[in-house]
A and B are shown apart, each in its own frame.
Chain A
Amino acid sequence: MQDRDLTQRIMSRDATTSTEPGETAEDLLALVARGDEPAFGRLYDLAAGMVFGLVRRVLRNEAQSEEVFQEVMLEVWRTASRFDPSRGKATTWIMTMAHRRAVDRVRSAQAATNRDERVAAMTVDTPFDEVVEQVTDRIEQRKVRRCLSSLTDLQRESVLLAYYQGYSYPEVSTLLSVPLGTVKTRMRDGLIRLRDCLGVTA
């Protein structure tokens, strides 16, 4: 009973946001590219949670996350016309942009403060964050973690350091004490293996 309700809710989740029936992120981006502000509002409602979740996860700092989040949403507005639907999903485009902005912020913040402080800050989390992490962990454990565990240690470490902590590949090379060329190929091999495990095959 409970399961059925929840299943229905997740299945109908897209329909219960403020998008109009059948409206996809791709549709909305096309409208936004023409300067449609109400469409941007609906796209915001669709994407804000995903974008903020990712930015917050990479930056781990609430104030910086809020700034970068706003930058990302405005970048979506500014550059919507450059989205090319033949290259992939709108959400992938938005999330890739969000990740890039977050990573850029990590690197510029890194120039100002040292990395150790950032690492120390990571451990200061509120209880709410812990709950969120726990829930996230549970979901990831199911499939994504299973796929991550199929990688070699080096592949997994490289992917996780780069994706979740925003390290560049030369930094990963230093951190893991492996040659630059090795990091390049391990990141690629690792992602390809994940792509295949998660079923993103062409």
Chain B
Amino acid sequence: MSVSSDLHLLTGVYAMNALPEDERAEFEEHLADCDSCAQEVAELQATSVGLNLATELAPPSHLRSQVLAKLATTPQSPLETTATVTVLASRSPKKWLMRASILTTAAAVLGAVVLGVQGVQDWNELDALRQSAAGYSQVSDLLNAPDAKLVSDSASAGGKGTVVVSPSRGKAVFLSSGLPQLPSDRTYQLWMVGPDGPRSAGLLRDEPVVAEGLADAQKLALTIEPSGGSSSPTLPLVLTVSLV
């Protein structure tokens, strides 16, 4: 009895793959028979994975063909293994149906959380979160461009701007650090500066800012503008980062 109540406490450790191998095997045996642990493990695994959803990083592209080439010689487990059948048979189908819908909802909510839908105070924050997530995937995408490079420059008033730029994709991602805090009615705005003059790349309200359609822009420049942003930059430039 005390052994089995101990086992119930292992859901968290198991969900984080933190059990040593022998205990892992023992707990998996318990898991096959214990509905409440199975449900808790599923939720805690989804929670652990949720901690990490933001860290997407594209693998080197040559790995794709390497993996696909191995499929033909990699045997697959047969459909409907006996293990699965036994586990399912030991549980009432109704309970499983219920659990499936609960988990689907939970997973959907978790997905939404990371994109900022759940518990977000206002739509600005929601937009900010979406932009961060979009920016993040664009960074990892940009890093894979053959001509991607990293450039940075310091601001005269303190702080720094860092840019990942890929001329071939016409795209750059801008990230600041340590810039002076602005009053609430002011905002930093990023500009793409080329021979035809400056074009807005967006506000720094949330970062990273993705500057697209760089075309022949030579540099990115940062200015301080009224909180809604401006259609043309207000001097002085806080910071410029050369892209060429």
Contacts and interface: CB of A to CB of B under 8 A. Distances in A.
Nearest to A5: B212
Nearest to A79: B77
B55 interface: yes
A139 B129 contact: yes
Contact of B45 (A50, A96, A136, A189): A96
B47 A194 contact: yes
Interface string A147-161: 010000000000100
Interface in B205-241: 207-210
Given A56-B57, A187-B12, A200-B106, A34 B47 contact: no
Contacts of A187: 12-13, 16, 18
6 contacts: A6-B130, A49-B137, A139-B133, A192-B44, A199-B112, A202-B103
B179 interface: no
A169 B103 contact: no
Question: From DSSP, what is the main secondary structure of chain B's interface residues?
Answer: helix
Given A57-B52, A86-B99, A89-B107, A135 B136 contact: yes
Contacts, number: 282
B99 A10 contact: no
A48 B59 contact: yes
Contacts of A162: 13, 16-18
A52 B59 contact: yes
Interface string B106-135: 110110111110110000010111111111
Contacts of A53: 52, 55-57, 140
Interface string B25-53: 00000000000001100111111111111
Interface residues of B, number: 98
Q: Is the interface of A mostly helix, strand, loop or mixed?
A: helix
A202 B44 contact: no
Nearest to B62: A66
B9 A7 contact: no
B155 interface: no
A23 interface: no
A86 B96 CA distance: 7
B134 A184 contact: no
A125 B81 CA distance: 43
Contacts of B78: 81
B67 A6 contact: no
B183 interface: no
B79 to A, nearest CB: 4
A115 interface: no
Interface residues of A, number: 87
B150 interface: yes
Given A88-B103, A191-B44, 4 more contacts: A6-B131, A49-B137, A81-B78, A159-B16
Contact of B106 (A35, A74, A192, A201): A201
A100 B17 contact: yes
Interface in A94-140: 95-96, 99-100, 103, 127-128, 131-132, 134-136, 138-140
Contact of A127 (B39, B44, B103, B150): B150
Nearest to A195: B47
B162 A131 contact: yes
Contact of B12 (A2, A7, A73, A189): A189
B182 interface: no
Interface string A1-21: 011001101110100000000
Contact of A198 (B47, B177, B202): B47
A74 B45 CA distance: 21
Contacts of A49: 56-59, 137, 140
